[in-house]
Amino acid sequence: MEHVCIIAEAGVNHNGSFDLAKKMVEAAKEAGVDYIKFQTFVPEKLVSKSAEKAEYQKETTGAEESQLQMLQKLTLTNENFIELKNYCTEIGIGFLSTPFDLESVAFLEKFHMDFWKIPSGEVTNLPYLEAIAKTKRKVIMSTGMCNINEIKEAVAVLDKYGVPEIVLLHCNTQYPTPYEHVNLRALETLKSLTGKKVGYSDHTQGIEIPTAAAAMGACVIEKHFTLDKTMEGPDHKASLEPQELRQMVLAIRNVEAALGTGLKEPSPSETANRTIVRKSIVAGRAIKKGEMLSENNLTAKRPGNGISPMKWHEVTGTRAIRDFLEDELIEI
């Protein structure tokens, strides 16, 4: 199995603080993820003044302010992102940030990130998709809220401009996502109907669902994390704290190792057990030379270093070639 790429989604859980964002980089590195991902946007170019918050945002940050006012408090400066990118390189963790407007696409293009991450809300934004596609960089695209036709249309745009690789992330954009709405089997549908690699962006609470997605063949797992779930902000509640993030990474790596090659054959660790737990044809009682071997004087017992019981009918009906004591391995 190919390496599962694990992305720690910092998003806006830095609450607009560069110092907090830097601490998140350190925590993600310690947890063992491949990438930490932020969100880059110009609030006034992302939402209109009249845009309302989602219900989960109202629950976590209050209904008094608009979505624009909320986002204005959650931004980092371009200089902050440059410093974060350099710090990620310094300590050895991949840097990513999702652009949410065309100005941010142009800014992040200078970072030469390993791939773009397209959020679910931009799947139906043609100018945005074209701007991303024209860079001809690899793309990972979340597909929350989308039906299959919308996904295919977006993929067609990316393919048209020669995007070298596209990974589609199954996703549900409710924070947190109810387990009964996860629909992990959609991973198989996405793969079969688009022919693209698939992954999973998780907004459930806990680590069970992303771990299960890895077992189902997701090649990318993305999960929100925070330094403290009790902090004020829209996404903290549906995020993992650092120790939980580390547990998720370990669980996914264990699943990754356990999936193996798919060949059904004894593993090196169990080969020695074959002789111990399998059985051989042995004398069920003392047998005299020349006596007919049959079910009346034969039985099958451990260990398996003699004639296999699968040859039972080849042994029965023959004559004992010598005397055998009870439990002695039969020879013919």
119-162 pLDDT, tens digit per residue, is 999 999 999 999 999 999 999 999 999 999 999 999 999 999 99
Mean pLDDT over 45-72 rounds to: 90
Please report, in angstroms and rounded to a whole number, the separation of the first and last CA atoms in the chain.
Answer: 46
53-67, 97-111, 288-302: least confident range: 53-67
Phi-psi region of 135 (alpha: psi -120 to 50; beta: other; left: phi over 0): alpha
Share of the chain above pLDDT 90, in %: 92
Q: Which residue has the higher pLDDT, 84 or 53?
A: 84
DSSP string of 88-153, one letter each residue: HHHHT-EEEEEE-SHHHHHHHHTT--SSEEE-GGGTT-HHHHHHHHTTT--EEEE-TT--HHHHHH
Is residue 1 very low, low, confident or very high in pLDDT (cuts 50, 70, 90)?
Answer: very low
Average pLDDT in the chain: 96
Q: Which helix (H) or strand (E) holds 280?
A: strand 280-283
Q: What is the DSSP letter of 229?
A: T
pTM here? 0.89
Mean pLDDT over 15-34 rounds to: 98
φ, ψ dihedrals at 185, nearest 5°: -65, -15
CA distance 268 to 276: 15
**Contacts for 233 with CB less than 8 Å, ≥ 6 apart:** 12, 13, 15, 60, 61, 74, 226
Share of the chain above pLDDT 70, in %: 100
Cis peptide leading into residue 176 (ω within 30°): yes
pLDDT at 64: 84
pLDDT at 58: 87
Mean pLDDT over 73-84 rounds to: 97
pLDDT at 237: 87
Which one, of 103, 116, 110, 100, lies nearest residue 35 by Cα?
116
Mean pLDDT over 88-101 rounds to: 98
Q: Which two tokens stand for residue 168?
A: 């589609």
